[in-house]
Structure 1
Amino acid sequence: MFVKIYQYHIKENKVDEYLSIQDKVSKIYCKYIDFHTMYFNSKNDDTKWLEITRYKDEEEYNKSIKIINEQEEIQDLFKGFQSLLLTDKSEISEEDFIERQEKRNF
């Protein structure tokens, strides 16, 4: 399993718009790749969000994301997403993870 984790800050009064954009993005993604995304809002900072998306593997992700990023609608939605970011905290952090299976001897 391959996992992408993003962290960013959304303006407090733009949460509904943010979730609407994420819904539209998901509808495009599902045409090209099998994935599961969860969104988390910090209990301590209403503007802080964590997005965790799981994919089958990194190869599948890399192959599909190239096609997805060529979609004009995705580009427009990303611009809309960027407009929702807090100006003083507009950085999007991104990390990649892979699942490691624990070896057990019974």
Structure 2
Amino acid sequence: MFVKVYKYHIQNDKVNEYISIQERAAEIYGKYLDFNTIYLQSKEDSTKWMEITKYKNEEEYHKSINLINEEDDIQDLFKAFQTLLSSEKREISEEDFVEMKEINSC
């Protein structure tokens, strides 16, 4: 599995808008890709979020992301997302990973 990890800071009073944007973006991504995303909010800094998305493979991701980015709606959603970022910490970090193993309890 190919995994994308994003870290960013969302204003505390904008969390509902953030979730709504992510849900709408997921609808667009779902037209092109199979994926699974989890959103994590830090217990120590409530503005800090981590987004972890798993894709079947990196090739499928790269093939589809260009089509996704051409969607006007995804561009509008990203602009709206950027307005939710904390004014003190506006950076978005992005990293790529390969899932080596997943263990689940029964």
> Which band: TM-score by shorter chain?
over 0.9
- Deviation for aligned residue 1:89: 0.2
Percent identical across equivalent pairs?
A: 62
Instruction: Summarize the alignment of residues 24-103 of structure 1 with structure 2, pairs less than 5 Å apart.
Output: 24-100=24-100
In the aligned structure 2, how far is the partner of 1:38 from the partner of 1:46? Answer: 16
TM-score normalised over the length of structure 2: 0.93
Partner of 2:17: 17
One-letter amino acid matched to 2:46: D
In the aligned structure 2, how far is the partner of 1:49 from the partner of 1:60? Answer: 26
Pair member with larger Rg? 1
Structure 1 unaligned blocks of 5 or more: 102-106
One-letter amino acid matched to 2:21: I
Structure 2 unaligned blocks of 5 or more: 102-106
SS in 2 for 1:50: strand
Aligned residues between the structures: 101
- For the aligned residue pairs, the C-alpha RMSD in angstroms reads 0.7
SS in 1 for 2:52: strand
Write the deviation string for residues 3-36 of structure 1: whole angstroms up to 9, x where unpaired. 0000000000000000000000000000000000
One-letter amino acid matched to 2:6: Y
